[in-house]
Amino acid sequence: MARKISVRIGEEGIEVGTLWFDAQGTHRQSSSFAYAQSWLEHPRGFALSPAMPFSQPRFFATRSGRNPAFPLPIADTCPDSWGQRVIRRYLNASGTSSPITDLDFLVNVDDSTRIGALRFFDPDQGTYLRDYDQQQGRIPPLLRLADLAAAARAIENGHETSDELALLRRAAGSLGGARPKSSVLDEERGELLIAKFTGAREDADHPVERAEAMALLLARRVGLTASKVRIMDLSPNEPVALLTRFDRTPDGKRLMFISAQSFLDAEEAESDDNTYTTIADAIRENGQSPSKMNRELFERVAYSILISNDDDHLKNHGFLGGTNGRWLLSPMFDVNPNPHRSGELYLKTAISEVSGPVGDLDALMDVAPYFGLDKDEAAGRIHHMAEQITAQWRGIARSVGMTEQQARNYRPAFEHDQSTRALALDRASEPGHSFDPEDDDEPNDPSPGM
């Protein structure tokens, strides 16, 4: 099976290039991509990632491990396990007889909710893939949150109806990660949201949605740039985390987004070869505000260690398109404190090649110069952050609806040897916000939406 698709960008649908896909069954899948000459000459034209420069005529990809058969920035627009599960169930229920390929997952994502700014256009049909707004109605509003949650639970349990499948295919197919979730529209605020639901098999003593909301709110409290989130309770034991999409401007325009895997051109999102010092090097080469970004990155690593966030693989870090082909760190997302921490914390992305995957603050301070900090300043920032976390995490846990017992259950994530070490550090300097606009006179904002 071979297919040719036009790759476009933004609400204007500016042509970026052409994607060619070929599959022989499910095991032999490949694609290639070439920029359109008009994009190469466009005043707002930019490379889709640092590894896809305009100077290269064509880019090739094959299916490998967990990576779809597309160049990485295009693969970033594909759903992960939850979205794939929904789409696969829908296609099987529809009686498809051909093998389901990566292209099926790519083209069955709702165009209006697709991650980032890239869009895919079928020149033969004359329509975007997949244009559910025209075919089956708009993005579900918040008023349908309970219906969406029920549909997600039914799919998890394997007894969904055709209507539930159709609803979630439209609303959930674009999203990454393994947990049940859906796109939803807050009509009153005009915001596109991600709704993360309580999983059918989640432990009520450790409410994951409340914990993620707590971690993101706490990150913002200590001065980090993190996704906006709030909790809506469908019932006392069924919280929904509502996260504002940071790849959309307030007026709904799309922002270019790529994962850190694409930013580094890494073979795998989870690998012993992936390190934060490597990300810092890539930021120095391709970041719009490299010194600010690397200081923020340093603080994010320290924060992950202090709250026991060990699901920090490269798909859980991202970059937004800046100006002149440069990139900015996206807000933090998918930050989850691990309440079952015992002993050392093992990160999915290592601090450096020397330290390996162990989440150790001394190892982080040893490489502080990679992030533009001297060791004293690094110690001061970590100490200040630990003080703020210690003082505030319980109150924020209560604010997102955790009971006293649930908050106690998360205590191991916040009180451990590394937090003790951080509190014992001398405060060598008073840390400020990493993205202080007074610093460096470098621009901070992403490019205007496309």
Query: What are the pLDDT digits (tens) for 177-217?
Result: 889 999 999 999 999 999 999 988 888 999 999 999 999 99
Tell me where in the chain the CATH 3.30.200.120 domain(s) lie: 142-244
What pLDDT does residue 175 have?
A: 78
**Rounded average pLDDT over 399-410:** 98
**Domain 142-244 classification at class level:** alpha beta
Which DSSP letter does residue 233 get?
E
Higher pLDDT, 309 or 323: 309
**Rounded average pLDDT over 356-373:** 97
Least confident of 1-15, 131-145, 320-334: 131-145
Helices in 36-80 by DSSP H: which ranges?
37-40, 72-75
Determine the distance from the C-alpha atom of residue 49 to the mean position of all C-alpha atoms in its chain, rounded to a whole number.
16
To the nearest whole percent, how much of the chain has pLDDT over 70? 94
Least confident of 91-95, 265-269, 349-353, 415-419: 91-95
What pLDDT does residue 430 have?
A: 44
337 with 413: CB under 8 angstroms? yes
CA distance 312 to 336: 9
Tell me where in the chain the CATH 1.10.1070 domain(s) lie: 256-425
What is the CATH topology of the domain spanning 256-425?
1.10.1070
Checking if the pLDDT of 240 tops 70, the result is yes
What pLDDT does residue 137 have?
A: 55
- Name, of 78-87, 387-396, 436-445, the range with top average pLDDT: 387-396
Per-residue pLDDT tens for 102-114? 999 999 999 999 9
CB-facing half-sphere around the CA of 282: CA atoms within 13 A: 23
**Rounded average pLDDT over 23-37:** 92
**CB proximity list for 139: less than 8 A, separation 6 or greater:** 110, 112, 113, 133, 170, 171, 183, 184, 185, 192
What pLDDT does residue 170 have?
A: 81
* CA-CA-CA-CA dihedral for 126, 127, 128, 134, to nearest 10: 170
Element (H, E) at 132: helix 132-136
Give the chain's mean pLDDT. Answer: 92
What pLDDT does residue 427 have?
A: 58
What pLDDT does residue 201 have?
A: 84
Element (H, E) at 186: strand 181-186
